[in-house]
Amino acid sequence: MSTTHTSSPALVRAAGICLAAHAALSVFSAVAFATFLSGPPPAWLQEPANQQALRIGWTFGPATTVVLGALAGLLHAAGKLGARRALLIFVLGFSISLASELSGTATGYPFGPYAYSGLLGWKVAGLVPFNIPTSWFFMLYCSLAICGRILRVADDGWSKARWAAVAGLVLTAWDVSMDPAMVRTAHWLWHLAPEAQQTTLQRVFVSDLFYGMPLSNWLGWLLTGTVVARVMLAVVPPSAWARLVAPSRFPLALYAVNGVLPLTICARYGMWWAVILGFVAMALPLALALRAPSTLGAPRSALTLPDDGASAERRAPSVVGIPS
């Protein structure tokens, strides 16, 4: 059985409004961290009214920015895939990534020993800010949309596994600059033991590898991102991502916007390897995706969402092919 869905322009427009607000806050935050928040506070910031505004900004700004990004992704998904499937991939993505983050903050697995500060808002179980799992969802939504532009389209199990792995890599590319930036601005903290107290295995996986971050963090990102992406693909198979979501450049814009703040912070504090590698890591999948025409041969009206069962391999004629 198949489900027919017609794209909802109203929901897509609402997603665009959320994206614009998300981008505006991201750019403002980048400018703030690069200027008046990066050193001794300027005189004008000492005025009572500005101090109050600063307190409000620190309290609500980061969480609001992330929530707007999640709303943008969720509304766009609802407009393209239908509300039921959009809500389902959101709930699954949120739940699995939250479970991984709770395990990480409580036990150190799979990311390594870390903890969140209070800058990102209310914490689930006192450990994980509520909006962190929402960022996993919308960035994986973007990552799967990118896969819809650069990977061969088929709904068999092997293709879904390949898509999930690539989506996990595209997601992890974001963390190359984000983790150093967020650690530098005390959004979260790593608790790494001194190397003298570590075993050989610990020195490889949970020692300071990249601006205070251990290798285990990227491995945890890749693992969690791949698992979440695979579950999302069980609900919305590759053919649906390629036909319904990938033709839009909205996910590409949302993905790119989320590189602005961390790259700016890394540049401000002279973390140039994070800037260079982070920019290249995010620019590469974006460049490959942008090579594909915006239409991708998608149907113009009612679109059919196939069930999760395996289907005959199909390939969008204008998608850039990457060999298996």
What value, to the nearest 5°, has the Cα angle with vertex 27 and ends 287 and 184? 90
State how far the alpha carbon of 141 is from the alpha carbons of 85, 107, 168, 248, 254, in Å: 12, 28, 11, 12, 10
This prediction's pTM: 0.88
For residue 264, the tally of other CB atoms under 10 A from its CB is 21
Mention every residue, 6+ apart, whose C-beta is less than 8 A from residue 16.
Answer: 72, 250
Confidence at residue 55, expressed as pLDDT on a 0 to 100 scale: 87
Confidence at residue 73, expressed as pLDDT on a 0 to 100 scale: 99
Residue 322 has pLDDT above 50, yes or no: no
Buried b (16+ CB within 10 A) or exposed e, 180-189: bbbbbbebbe
Residue 294 has pLDDT above 90, yes or no: no
Q: Summarize the confidence of residues 243-270 as an average pLDDT.
A: 97
- The percent of residues above 70 in pLDDT, for the chain, comes to 88
Asked if residue 298 lies in contact with residue 243, where contact means CB atoms within 8 angstroms, the answer is: yes
Sign of CA pseudo-dihedral 186, 191, 196, 198: negative
